[in-house]
Amino acid sequence: MFEALLKSLKSRKRRRLSVQDSPAAELAAQMLHAPSALIQLSADDARRIVSYMEPIRLLAGQCFMREGQTEDTDYMLLILEGDVMVENFIVSRRTPITTAVIGAGALVGELGLLDGSPRSATCTTCTEVLAAKLGRTALGELLEDDPTLGVKLLLAIGVHMSNRVRERTEKLKSYAALIQTMQQEMDRMS
């Protein structure tokens, strides 16, 4: 028991130290602290959240999440630099449809972070990407170490996901209206 506690404390100390001298960690903290961020965090709160994340670099053209993927789904990424293409497969098509191209400040994989379900989209880098990765284990540590800050982060992720659902709903309404207009035009022509 004591050894596990000591190991946990050492890990947390290393985490705090790693954020202080990392340009990627500082960039992630700035994105979490920016006025356009999902939640308003103090600079210190943003740095504390980032201390639970790890920087990763992805090469251009790298598929790092695949729709339906069931393994390695317990993390999300905060994109710091670069662009990512998000695609979905539709039953009647052989090729995927690009649903979004996202860049710095965007989150990907947040559903998997929360519930570990299969990935809902395929994500491929358009350019080299620098990102901050938050895994479910690290999120659990954050919630244990600082419940208030952990809940702020979870609320922000929830707001982000609800905004994404609203955007997709609006797109679906637009597609439905377009299909209805095309059907009316085809009916008129026949």
pLDDT tens track, the chain, 190 positions: 445 544 554 555 555 445 556 787 888 887 776 666 656 678 888 889 999 999 999 999 999 999 999 999 999 999 999 999 999 888 777 888 898 899 998 999 999 999 989 999 999 999 999 999 999 999 999 999 999 999 999 988 888 888 888 988 888 888 788 888 888 888 898 8
**Contact at 8 Å (CB) between 56 and 133?**
yes
- Report CA-CA distances (Å) from 128 to 62, 85, 125, 155: 9, 12, 7, 29
Domain extent listing, the chain: 2-189
Please state which architecture CATH assigns to domain 2-189. Sandwich (2.60)
Write out the two tokens for 39. 């939640």
Whether the model clears a pTM of 0.85, i.e. scores above it, the answer is no
Residue 74 dihedral angles phi and psi, to the nearest 5°:
-95, 40
Residue 89 Cα to chain centre, angstroms: 20
Give the C-alpha separation, 7 to 116, whole Å.
26
pLDDT for the residue 14: 52
> 135-142: which pairs have CB atoms within 8 A and are 24 or more residues apart?
135/54, 135/74, 135/75, 136/74, 136/75, 137/74, 138/52, 138/53, 138/54, 139/52, 139/113, 141/8, 141/12, 141/52, 142/49, 142/52
What are the CA-CA distances from residue 27 to residues 86, 105, 166, 174 (Å)?
23, 10, 28, 36
Q: What per-residue confidence (pLDDT) applies to 178?
A: 85
By C-alpha distance, which of 72, 91, 77 is closest to 124? 77
Identify whether the C-beta of residue 50 lies closer than 8 Å to the C-beta of residue 32.
yes
